């Protein structure tokens, strides 16, 4: 097969990206496109607006929602340590075993997936001129030809850039015509006009309340912001997409609530983001980890992940801050004598933007004005659910409710 590879930040994905994919497929040079949303590319290590998992999932939903045929989204960069240079990504992606397994997992017939493949790195004509300054450009050309898009009326001298590359590095450069509008992700986010964002991505952005004041993380330190991004890719190996996005949403909302209630914003971001980090580990491992943090306090399989998460964050990420670890530990049950941070993470977990298990409007409204009242309303809703299911509340929850005069 002839395989096009299209990498980018997609922060957010817009109609220009989609036009690039469609035009490349129409060009006749390739049979399919593999889209790779970046994790740690060399130019923008932490400069993206959103952590990698949001951009990956948004791209997946967009490709699926638009019904783009012969277009597959890859998470290959999650398995690469350090900066994901194009040369490094291509070395991994083009190996016989990796590409065969990837294509088969995307429903390509085994026989086709095992064929000899040719690879094409898709790029804009503007980046062709800088290609020789990339990391190991000669190496890139050993793995793939360059497939550069030229828009009608584009005044970039692509022929000059292409012949310079061929002369200095060898390799193959092909040009294809790009039909479609010109737009930029940064202009979209700075103007707030999302009309050039495909509908499925718009829905994704709305569902998770992205590109808002909360996700700008103003007032959060550089270190905490970088940790938030790093932890998001660390958790990718342990959590399914839906739960991962939920736990990150709780990070954003906790940071916002910390602003309102005079709590450390960095700690809220990190505790919120990590609160469910242990939830999909094998249950035996969760039980063991929970015991390590809080003895026999949590043994119920539904909630043991909270205390296990504290151990997991401590052991795997080196988090020693007791306030953060406790906020993770008590996010399911609450407890007596809760800190503001604990209340925030407890609450944010139940009402983050993508939650829709009941009408959360009134609690969300209360959360902006009165933290205790919002926690009380949440606890009432949970108590009612427990009563209807004939379940007993955890002693820590009973202690919390008593203090809130419930
Ligand atoms: Fe949880
Ligand atoms: Fe949660």
Q: How far apart are CA 171 and CA 168, in angstroms?
A: 9
Tell me how far the alpha carbon of residue 276 lies from the centroid of ligand 2, in angstroms.
Answer: 5
Closest ligand to C-alpha of residue 244 is 2
Angle at alpha carbon of residue 236, lines to 235 and 241, rounded to 5°: 115
Closest ligand to C-alpha of residue 305 is 1
Going by DSSP bridges, is the β-strand pair 118-124/2-8 parallel, antiparallel, or unpaired? Answer: parallel
Query: Exposed, middle or buried by CB within 10 Å (0-12, 13-18, 19+), for 108?
Result: buried
Closest ligand to C-alpha of residue 328 is 1
Model pLDDT, residue 43: 66
Tell me how far the alpha carbon of residue 65 lies from the centroid of ligand 1, in angstroms.
Answer: 29
HSE toward the beta carbon, residue 378, CA cutoff 13 A: 28
Tokens 């043991």 identify what position?
Answer: 304
Residue 277 to residues 24, 28, 244, 292: CA-CA distances in angstroms?
39, 45, 8, 16
Model pLDDT, residue 58: 98
Q: How far apart are CA 240 and CA 246, in angstroms?
A: 10
Q: How far apart are CA 275 and CA 246, in angstroms?
A: 10
For residue 132, give the DSSP letter: G
Count the Cβ atoms, other than its own, within 10 Å of residue 294: 20
Alpha helices in 152-303 (DSSP H): 158-169, 185-191, 199-207, 213-216, 222-236, 241-260, 265-274, 283-294
Cβ-Cβ contacts under 8 Å for 206 (sequence gap 6 or more): none
Closest ligand to C-alpha of residue 302 is 1
Closest ligand to C-alpha of residue 280 is 1
φ/ψ of 276, rounded to 5, equals -105, 20
φ/ψ of 184, rounded to 5, equals -135, 140
Tell me how far the alpha carbon of residue 107 lies from the centroid of ligand 2, in angstroms.
Answer: 32
Model pLDDT, residue 40: 86
At 32, list the tokens.
């399919």
Burial letters for 111-135: b for 16+ Cβ neighbours within 10 Å, e otherwise?
Answer: eebeeebbbbbbbbbeebbebeebe
At 189, list the tokens.
């986010």
For residue 149, give the DSSP letter: E
Each residue's pLDDT tens digit in the chain (406 positions)?
999 999 999 999 999 999 999 999 999 999 999 999 999 876 677 889 999 999 999 999 999 999 999 999 999 999 998 889 999 999 999 999 999 999 999 999 999 999 999 999 999 988 898 999 999 999 999 999 999 999 877 777 888 999 999 999 999 999 999 988 788 999 999 999 999 999 999 999 999 999 999 999 999 999 999 999 999 999 999 999 999 999 999 999 999 999 999 999 999 999 999 999 999 999 999 999 999 999 999 999 999 999 999 999 999 999 999 999 999 999 999 999 999 999 999 999 999 999 998 999 999 999 999 999 999 999 999 999 999 999 999 999 999 999 998 8
Tell me how far the alpha carbon of residue 243 lies from the centroid of ligand 2, in angstroms.
Answer: 8
Tell me how far the alpha carbon of residue 187 lies from the centroid of ligand 1, in angstroms.
Answer: 36
- DSSP, collapsed to helix, strand or coil, labels residue 59 as helix
Tokens 């291509």 identify what position?
Answer: 90
Strand order in the sheet with 2-8: 71-73, 32-37, 2-8, 118-124, 145-150, 173-177
| CA-based nearest residue to 22, from 13, 12, 11, 32 | 32
Longest pairwise C-alpha distance within the chain = 78
Count the Cβ atoms, other than its own, within 10 Å of residue 232: 23
Q: How far apart are CA 258 and CA 57, in angstroms?
A: 27
Q: How far apart are CA 30 and CA 406, in angstroms?
A: 65
Closest ligand to C-alpha of residue 243 is 2
């Amino acid at each position: 097969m002839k395989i096009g590879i299209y990498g980018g930040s997609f922060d957010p994905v817009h109609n220009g990206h989609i036009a690039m994919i469609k035009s490349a497929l129409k060009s006749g040079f390739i049979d399919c496109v593999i889209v790779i949303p970046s994790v740690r590319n060399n130019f923008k290590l932490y400069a993206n607006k959103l952590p990698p998992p949001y951009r990956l999932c948004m791209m997946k939903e967009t490709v699926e929602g638009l019904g783009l045929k012969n277009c597959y989204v890859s998470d290959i960069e999650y398995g690469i340590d350090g900066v994901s240079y194009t040369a490094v990504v291509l070395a991994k992606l083009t190996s016989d075993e990796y590409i065969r397994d990837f294509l088969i997992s995307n429903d390509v017939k085994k026989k086709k997936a095992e064929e000899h493949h040719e690879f094409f790195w898709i790029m804009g004509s503007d980046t062709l001129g800088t290609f020789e300054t990339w990391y190991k450009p000669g190496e890139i050309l050993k793995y793939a030809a360059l497939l550069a898009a030229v828009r009608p009326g584009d005044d970039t001298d692509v022929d000059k850039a292409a012949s310079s590359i061929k002369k200095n590095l060898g390799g193959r450069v092909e040009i294809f015509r790009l039909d479609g509008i010109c737009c930029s992700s940064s202009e979209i986010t700075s103007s707030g006009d999302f009309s050039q964002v495909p509908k499925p991505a718009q829905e994704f952005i709305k569902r998770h309340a992205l590109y808002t004041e909360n996700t700008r993380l103003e007032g959060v330190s550089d270190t905490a912001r970088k940790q938030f991004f790093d932890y998001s890719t660390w958790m990718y190996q342990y959590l399914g997409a839906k739960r991962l996005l939920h736990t990150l949403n709780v990070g954003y909302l906790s940071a916002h609530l910390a602003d309102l209630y005079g709590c450390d914003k960095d700690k809220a971001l990190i505790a919120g983001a990590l609160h469910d980090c242990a939830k999909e580990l094998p249950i035996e491992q969760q039980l063991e980890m929970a015991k390590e943090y809080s003895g026999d306090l949590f043994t119920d399989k539904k909630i043991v992940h909270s205390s296990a998460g504290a151990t997991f964050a401590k052991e795997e990420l080196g988090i020693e801050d007791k306030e953060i670890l406790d906020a993770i530990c008590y996010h399911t049950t609450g407890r007596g004598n809760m800190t503001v941070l604990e209340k925030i993470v407890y609450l944010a977990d139940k009402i983050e933007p993508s939650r829709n298990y009941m009408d959360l409007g009134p609690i969300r409204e209360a959360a902006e004005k009165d933290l205790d009242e919002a926690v009380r309303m949440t606890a009432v809703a949970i108590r009612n659910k427990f009563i209807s299911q004939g379940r007993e509340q955890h002693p820590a929850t009973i202690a919390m409710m008593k203090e809130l005069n419930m």
